[in-house]
Amino acid sequence: MYPVLLKLGPIEIHAYGLLLAVSFMVGIYWAMARAPRRGISKNDILDLSIFVVLGAIIGSRLLYVVTHLEEFRGRWLDTINPIQSTGEVGISGLSMLGGVVMVIAIIAFYCRRKHISIPRLCDVLAPVFALGIMLTRIGCFLNGCCFGIPGDMPWCMVFPEHSPAGSVLLGVHIHPAQLYSSLYGLIILVVILLLDRKERPDGFLMSVFFMLYGVARFGIDFVRYYETSVQIRFAGQIFTINQAISFAMFLAGLIFLIRIRTRKDTTT
């Protein structure tokens, strides 16, 4: 793969870091452009973006640390370094869903302090989140992290030895789970933008995003490689902690959508 896109002397531009930065910058600009339509100040979006960026990093790191405690025994100071990982997968030490959960909590807290409608703000951000998923997962693919399990599909591929995927499954054809994730990010983005062409009740787009993302992430995890530390057993089946979070997100989206429909029916 291409973890380093450009090297200028001692300066290296990493694929994942670049696409992560691009997703944040484009996302902030796009959210600021979408906000006035829903009566939200651009300045509020700009202020919130600072906390969202920090929250995404902290939440992603926190979930990774909690699910990989064995890596940090005797070296607990490493837990606060978001770009360090000693695990067998050799990834950057971040777990995306932890960042999603933290960002949701930050948005809820910020909205209450600023007296902004949480569903309305989430509708502004729904397509932005989908865009972020699409871009950052391409970065994961170029970096070779967040990879899939062995497979025999025509598009399964062998990752280089120096990549995180290759260091774990050397010479093995595996699912490009990163591209699957990028694809569902694109699909969610298109669906939300099509739905947003008509006037919708506050919280509608947010609900759709939660449901679509929950289902997509839950399904992708069946072909994604995980260490045993993030696996849980339920009803005789093995799932991942991320699948549990994804299922909770789907249920939350479904409940919100039902409440929106019920509220609409009672007012008509």
**Span 21-50, pLDDT tens digits:** 899 999 999 999 999 999 999 999 999 999
Listed in sequence order, the residues at least 6 apart from 182 whose beta carbon sits closer than 8 Å to its beta carbon are 133, 134, 135, 137, 138, 141
pLDDT at 119: 94
> How far is residue 162 CA from its own chain's centroid?
25
Average pLDDT over all residues of the chain? 88
Burial class for 197, CB neighbours closer than 10 Å (0-12, 13-18, 19+): exposed
SS3 (DSSP) at 228: helix
pLDDT at 84: 52
**Span 104-163, pLDDT tens digits:** 899 999 999 999 999 999 999 999 999 999 999 999 999 998 899 999 999 999 999 888
Per residue in 235-257, is it b (16+ CB within 10 Å) or e — as a string?
A: eeeebbbbbebbeebbebbeebb
Domain boundaries defined on the chain: 4-266
**Span 191-234, pLDDT tens digits:** 999 999 999 999 999 999 999 999 999 999 999 998 877 788 88
Residue 89: pLDDT above 80?
no
**Span 229-253, pLDDT tens digits:** 778 888 788 899 899 999 999 999 9
pLDDT at 246: 95
CA-based nearest residue to 95, from 74, 52, 54, 66 = 66
Residue 7: pLDDT above 90?
no
pLDDT at 88: 42
Question: CA 264, CA 257: separation in Å to the nearest integer?
Answer: 11
Q: How confident is the model at residue 91 (pLDDT cuts 50, 70, 90)?
A: very low
Q: What are the CA-CA distances from residue 159 to residues 19, 169, 172 (Å)?
A: 20, 8, 8
* Sign of the C-alpha dihedral computed for residues 80, 85, 87 and 91 taken in this order: positive
Pairing of strands 4-8, 231-234: unpaired
pLDDT at 157: 96
Question: CA 18, CA 58: separation in Å to the nearest integer?
Answer: 19
Q: How confident is the model at residue 76 (pLDDT cuts 50, 70, 90)?
A: low
pLDDT at 265: 62
